[in-house]
């Protein structure tokens, strides 16, 4: 049951990360204390067997929180910044990931130019996005980077 609850928390966190430039995570412990972590869009949150691991931004050291000490975890969007456009904070999301035939992109307008790059940085293909997704069936299996309107996301082709 505990793993199911933490799996749900992790899923909620990932959804929140996809929609915001930063997320403030507050962890309340069983002793009544709490600690806040400001996780940027380049940070990550994941579980090991006995710990919740928090990495606030790419390159920073992971913080380990013992799962048995956690009473409650709360997520709230962080500040986008003064003068920043909130729409620019929304991450590009590719699904399903990995994909076999068709890949969909959340938050992409029909007609947007989609560029697909191989792991070595070479441009592989360009598409005009539609609500039917993009057909990736002709791509060889591997890892790719997609860019749309200055935003990027990695996806794996089966």
Can you tell me the distance from the alpha carbon of 146 to that of 148, in angstroms, rounded to the nearest whole number?
Answer: 7
76 and 104, same domain (yes or no): no
- Residue 87 inside a domain? The answer is no
17 & 67 share domain: yes
Question: Is 52 in the same domain as 104?
Answer: no
pLDDT in tens, 70-124: 877 777 766 544 444 444 555 778 888 899 999 988 778 889 999 999 988 899 9
Strand segments, DSSP code E, in the chain are 22-29, 34-40, 44-47, 51-55, 63-66, 70-77, 93-95, 102-106, 113-118, 123-128, 134-135, 142-148, 151-157
Q: pLDDT tens digits, residue range 44-57?
A: 878 888 888 888 88
Same domain, 150 and 102: yes
| Domain of 136, in residue numbers | 92-157
Residue 137 belongs to domain with CATH number: 2.60.40
> Which one of 50, 82, 114 terminates a domain?
82
- pTM value? 0.48
């Amino acid at each position: 049951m505990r793993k199911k609850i933490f799996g749900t928390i992790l899923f909620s966190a990932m959804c929140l990360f996809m929609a915001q430039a930063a997320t403030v995570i507050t962890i309340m412990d069983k002793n009544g204390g709490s600690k806040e972590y400001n996780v940027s869009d380049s940070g990550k949150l994941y579980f090991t067997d006995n710990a919740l691991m928090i990495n606030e931004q790419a390159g920073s050291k992971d913080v380990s929180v013992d799962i048995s000490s956690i009473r409650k975890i709360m997520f709230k969007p962080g500040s986008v910044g003064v003068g920043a456009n909130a729409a620019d904070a929304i991450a590009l999301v590719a699904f399903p990931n990995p994909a076999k035939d068709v890949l969909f992109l959340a938050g992409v307008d029909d007609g947007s130019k989609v560029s697909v790059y191989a792991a070595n940085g070479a441009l592989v293909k360009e598409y005009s996005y539609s609500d039917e997704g993009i057909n990736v069936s002709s791509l060889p299996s591997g890892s790719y980077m997609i860019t749309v309107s200055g935003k990027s996301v990695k996806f794996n082709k089966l």
